[in-house]
Every structure is written in C-alpha cells, then in structure tokens.
Structure 1
C-alpha cells in the first residue's frame, strides 16, 4: 500500500529505492526482487520507481554499483591511513576484502557474478564504478612493487588479476560453505598475504 504521507526531496527517492532494494536482496535473493514489490515496500507508485530504473536489471546494476562504491571507500580509507606501513595497509586490505564478501554475500555475488556481467547486462553506471575499482587494485600492486613487496618481474596487471582472483576464490569458498567457513577467514587471509609477499626481498620490512 502506498503511503501518501511519505515525502521525498529531489534525489532522495532513488537513494531510498536502492537502500530498500538492497535489503530485499539480502533478505530473499534476486528472484524475489521486483520494481513492483520495491515500490510497495517504499510506499510509492510503480511509475515513480520506473522513473528512476527502467527495469529490474537497471536496479540490480545500481545496487552493485553502490556495493563497489562502499568497497572502494573502505579500501581508500585503509590505504590513506598514515599510521600503517604499506605492508600493513595491504594486510588490512586483504582481510577487509574477504570480510566484506562474507558479511554481504548477496551484494558481493551480484557485484562479481554472471547475472550482470556474463551477457553484458551491466549498466554504464555499474561499468563506470566497477572498472575503476579494478584499476585501483592495479595501482595497489604497483605501489607494492615500488616498495619491493611484490616482484617486479611480473606486470602489475597480471599480478592484480591473480591476487584478486585468489581473494575472490577465498570469498566464494566461504560464501558457498565449500571446505571453508567463517572460522577460517583470518588464517586463509594470512596465508594468502604470505604467498603474495613471500618472494620479495622486502616482505618482512615495514
């Protein structure tokens, strides 16, 4: 039922729709989410919801884009912390990445799953948010190479792809409950960090 007393300022409705849709996704999954149900939950007309999202795919892309923005903000906060060495920043980054996935499984799988990416269903908004996030990881690797914490014999792009693939694999194993669970998170992250940094001469330096 629509709530006639609910008022929105310009731009607020879109934010409210994304917030509510994210909660619905976390509660019941993608299949249960629709613009009609979302409009009912927020208390607006279906037309109002379609004014901001042309279809369900557009809405899912917006949720995923919001996830990437949250992840990016967390990563930037870590790497802008002057109290940490570069190695400590990377250690915190790895732990935070896997924890983000574990704590937000539905959003994480939407961000990186085939629902939006396999058939090029991702919106321009999502692409413009997600692609810079990967470039950010390439830049992290470049910094680690400059500090001799990762080998310079490999390209930053390839190292970023391999390290990201490893973290993604760890996250997915825990989300799916396959041969891993939440109690293993910290140990798996520490193992990955040691493997990533162990072949570099400065791996034990600050």
Structure 2
C-alpha cells in the first residue's frame, strides 16, 4: 500500500495547538506587527484547518487578551526570579535589581508589553475577565508584598502601600514607554538611569530614613 504524500507543514495535535497559536502570535507581533495577525494566517502558518484556531479563541481580540495574560505570567516569573536571586541582600539592592529587570522585560518582550499596558487595547472595552483579573492581581501582589515588608520592619511604616505601588508602576512604565517609543535613545546610560530610579524609590521605602 502506498504511503500518503508527506507534508512540509508541521501538524499539531489537539493538546498543544493552543500554545502553538500563542507562540506563533507572539512571533508575528514581534516580527511583522499586529496588522499581519489573523486567525486565518495562524492556521496557515501552523498547517491546520482554518477553523481549528476557533476551538481555542473566539476571535482575534480574545487571542490578543490571551497573549497579554501570558505576558503578565512571564513578567511575574521574571520578577520572582529576581527576588529569589537577591533574597537577603537588602532592600536597596533588591529594588535596583527589580527596576533593571522591569525595564529589561519591557525592552526584550515588546510584543507582550504593548498589549499588557497598551492604552488603545485597554480602552477597547473588550478585555476578557481573566485578563482583567490577572492584570489587577499583579498590582495587588506588589501591595501585599509591601505590607508584609512593613510588618517585618523592612519597609518604612508610614509608606502608603497602594499609593507607592501606583507610583512605582507609573514611573517604570513611563521610562519603559519612552525607551520603546525611541524617545530615550542613549541606551548606554540605561544602567545609570535604572540605578538613579531605584535610589529614588528606595528613599521612600527605607525604614531608616
């Protein structure tokens, strides 16, 4: 019996198609931009039927929401790795490392970051409940970490954890956006910028101030 003709297209079994779609979406966003993205293009690139992606994502918007969620998951893991690496080294050292990690993540993962904090995306009013919950959870976790630090005497007791977290995120996002948009072009001084920002933030947190 003759063998069926071989195909150059890679076949994905049901169990890993969703992740394959997410990975290919991230690649398209990174290399070609959102205008090149469609569920039909994804199906063609992955060698599956045109309807297969719809088993996992209702439309392009739900796919982009899933990419943003994955971005937050990657970001959380990155920051946790930094905390684990610098555990016990002191608040100022950790703050400096976290600032650097945040800016590095934004610069090296723009395909995720643009969706995680994209103004047009968030103003669309079409975000999935899980994305909203995930995004809010990131800020909530930082607030809880600050409060635990205050209870242990590692963070100044008078710091308002909510307001500081908002200021922290706003500051780092602003710098990241300026870097991504090409306003800050002197990346050779980025380390100095990170360290100056971290010193400013730690000045507010230092329990000895």
Structure 1 pair 115–50 and aligned structure 2 pair: CA distance change class (3 A): farther
Runs of 4+ in structure 1 deviating by more than 6 angstroms, as ranges, are none
What does residue 118 of structure 2 align with? 113
Q: Normalising by the residue count of structure 2, what TM-score does the alignment of the two structures yield? A: 0.86
Structure 1 pair 81–179 and aligned structure 2 pair: CA distance change class (3 A): closer
What does residue 12 of structure 1 align with? 16
| 1:26 maps to which of 26, 30, 35 | 30
Check whether the contact 1:20–1:38 (CA below 8 A) recurs between aligned residues.
Answer: yes
Alignment: residue pair count: 201
Check whether the contact 1:148–1:202 (CA below 8 A) recurs between aligned residues.
Answer: no
What does residue 184 of structure 1 align with? 189
Q: Distance in 2 between matches of 1:184 and 1:107?
A: 25
Q: Distance in 2 between matches of 1:43 and 1:72?
A: 32
Q: Which one has a bigger Cα radius of gyration?
A: 2
Q: Normalising by the residue count of structure 1, what TM-score does the alignment of the two structures yield? A: 0.87
Check whether the contact 2:86–2:94 (CA below 8 A) recurs between aligned residues.
Answer: no
What does residue 56 of structure 1 align with? 60
What does residue 208 of structure 2 align with? 202
The answer for unaligned runs of 5 or more in structure 2 is: 1-6
Q: Distance in 1 between matches of 2:153 and 2:201?
A: 12
Check whether the contact 2:69–2:116 (CA below 8 A) recurs between aligned residues.
Answer: yes
Check whether the contact 1:57–1:116 (CA below 8 A) recurs between aligned residues.
Answer: no
Q: Distance in 1 between matches of 2:88 and 2:13?
A: 41
Secondary structure at 1:46 match in 2: coil
CA RMSD of aligned residues (A): 2.2
Q: Distance in 1 between matches of 2:67 and 2:186?
A: 26
